[in-house]
Structure 1
Amino acid sequence: MQKGIKAGILIVALAVPALIFLFLRGFGENHYKLPKLIPVIDSTTGYIKMKKNPNPKWDEPEMDTVFHTIPDWTLTNEEGKPFTNKQLAGKIYVADFFFTRCTSICPKMSTQLTRVQDTFGQDKDVEFASFTVDPSHDTPEMLREYAKQYDAIPGKWHFLTGTRQQLYPLAVKGYYIPVADASEYDKAVKTPDETFIHSEKLILVDKEGYIRGFYDGTDKKDVDRLMLEIKVLQKIYETEK
């Protein structure tokens, strides 16, 4: 009788780890999370907008939060050709706002973006979009020269210009990045670095146009986090196929 009990305990002891492994393999792997950011607020009620989830899974709510998506835009790229957000549809991309005359944070941001580009150079689903905040100076020719300085891959890293009336609202209302031209309210400013105020943030945008993250483009560790979260986003898309 004792031998039978001991044998039973041994079988259970051996079986439990195997069952745990099978459970984790079946339900734990490929479970990646990277939330969407910027919920949409209903201007009439002040509450977050909600929509019905058409096919909720067992662990999902019946109602979904409505999140902000990047609005449509048409600008001019470094080749002097029209470029729209629709050309980034179906791509994971990293956006930033900069200007070519910047001598403070922009070179650091662009250097870090070069590092990200090197990591994802072979990934066709990852691209980059850099928007100037100094459009009167940053012509397509200037953007091309700047792109060469940072070994930007043509067709993968896009440098974009337009009018200030296009770019500034897009930064603030589209990508949730603050920008300003200080010369409008302070006539004492003289240098470009004093004139053009913009954020050091890099913005991760998914294939549907949702913002998935903000990262300090001057901080190597935070850019490392960006690269990790791009990989997480890629895994999310892989598991949804």
Structure 2
Amino acid sequence: MRNKSSKVGILIGILAVPTFIFVLLKLFGQNYYKLPYLMPEMDETGQIVMKGPDTVFHQIPPYELIDQQGKKFSSANVKGKIYIADFFFTRCGTICPKLSNSLSRVQSIFSADSNVVIVSHSVDPKHDSSAVLQQYAQKYDAKYGKWYFLTGDKKTIYDIAIKGYKLPVSDASEYDNKIKSIDETFIHSEKLLLIDKEGYIRGIYDGTYSPDVERLIGEVKVLSEIYKSKK
């Protein structure tokens, strides 16, 4: 009987450990959440810009485009919000469906959190009108106000990709008119970027790689906890 009681006690102890750890983290671990700032600013000599002892990090500059409902979209739409940004185009048959499926999962996970939004920029704005983007949004069950699809002036989009989000983008047809495949025409990144409420880049992830998408989801939660701890 004593042996049986000992086994029951051990089992209860094993089951209690995860709960105990969770409680400890909630009570005492809140101040230990960390997430790095990425993309330090560089001067003309390639040196990291400093402000006193602190590194100056790049912030996403303000810009204005048009969303899937034909409404103006600007930095005001994401002011004070955590957001995930990517670049895609609706006719893409390679990485874009994977990116959009990944973001659909992100949307589902944070559906009830109004502080987390998604911003997808089309690199093919001539074709991707608001109406086309609206159809694409419906395909992935994107909720307006939660997941924005943007179009507009091509130069503005390419500038914000390269100078703002620090991601490569190119229209290969501009320098090679022999290209016929649409998937070879528009060159863009498979990366998803995590942007904080102040416009700083806090994470970079491969949107076609499931473990990276799971890491993104985890780090959105971490960033949310960081803001909660500051209140």
TM-score, normalised relative to structure 2: 0.86
How far did 1:212 drift? 0.5
Secondary structure, counterpart of 2:73 in structure 1 = strand
Secondary structure, counterpart of 1:154 in structure 2 = coil
Correspondence for 2:50: 50
How far did 1:67 drift? 0.3
Cα distance in 1 between the residues matched to 2:162 and 2:76:
20
Secondary structure, counterpart of 1:204 in structure 2 = strand
Amino acid corresponding to residue 41 of structure 1 in structure 2: M
Cα distance in 1 between the residues matched to 2:220 and 2:105:
13
- Report if aligned partners of 1:30, 1:235 keep a CA contact under 8 Å in 2: no
Correspondence for 2:210: 220
- Report if aligned partners of 1:37, 1:213 keep a CA contact under 8 Å in 2: yes
How far did 1:24 drift? 8.8
Whether 1:121 aligns to 2:111 is: yes
- The correspondence for 1:205, drawn from 169, 191, 195, is 195
Whether 1:108 aligns to 2:116 is: no
Q: 1:24 to 1:144 in 2, by over 3 A?
A: closer
Q: 1:195 to 1:24 in 2, by over 3 A?
A: closer
Cα distance in 1 between the residues matched to 2:47 and 2:88:
34
Cα distance in 2 between the residues matched to 1:76 and 1:236:
31
Q: 1:1-241 to 2 correspondence within 5 Å?
A: 28-43=29-44, 45-52=45-52, 63-241=53-231
Cα distance in 2 between the residues matched to 1:204 and 1:24:
24
Cα distance in 2 between the residues matched to 1:30 and 1:154:
34
Secondary structure, counterpart of 2:31 in structure 1 = coil
TM-score, normalised relative to structure 1: 0.83
How far did 1:26 drift? 8.0
How far did 1:27 drift? 6.4
- Residues 175-216 of structure 1 show CA distances to partners (whole Å, capped at 9, x for unaligned) of 011000011111111121110010100010000000011111
Correspondence for 1:5: none
Question: Which consecutive aligned stretches of 4+ in structure 1 deviate over 2 angstroms post-superposition?
Answer: 23-30
- Computing the radius of gyration from Cα coordinates, the structure with the larger value is 1
How far did 1:142 drift? 0.2
Cα distance in 2 between the residues matched to 1:88 and 1:25:
29
Alignment length (residue pairs): 208
- Report if aligned partners of 2:30, 2:225 keep a CA contact under 8 Å in 1: no
Secondary structure, counterpart of 2:76 in structure 1 = helix
- Report if aligned partners of 1:92, 1:126 keep a CA contact under 8 Å in 2: yes
Correspondence for 2:16: none
- Residues 81-104 of structure 1 show CA distances to partners (whole Å, capped at 9, x for unaligned) of 111012101000000000000010
Amino acid corresponding to residue 51 of structure 1 in structure 2: K
Cα distance in 2 between the residues matched to 1:231 and 1:115:
14
How far did 1:25 drift? 8.7
The alignment's C-alpha RMSD in Å is 1.6
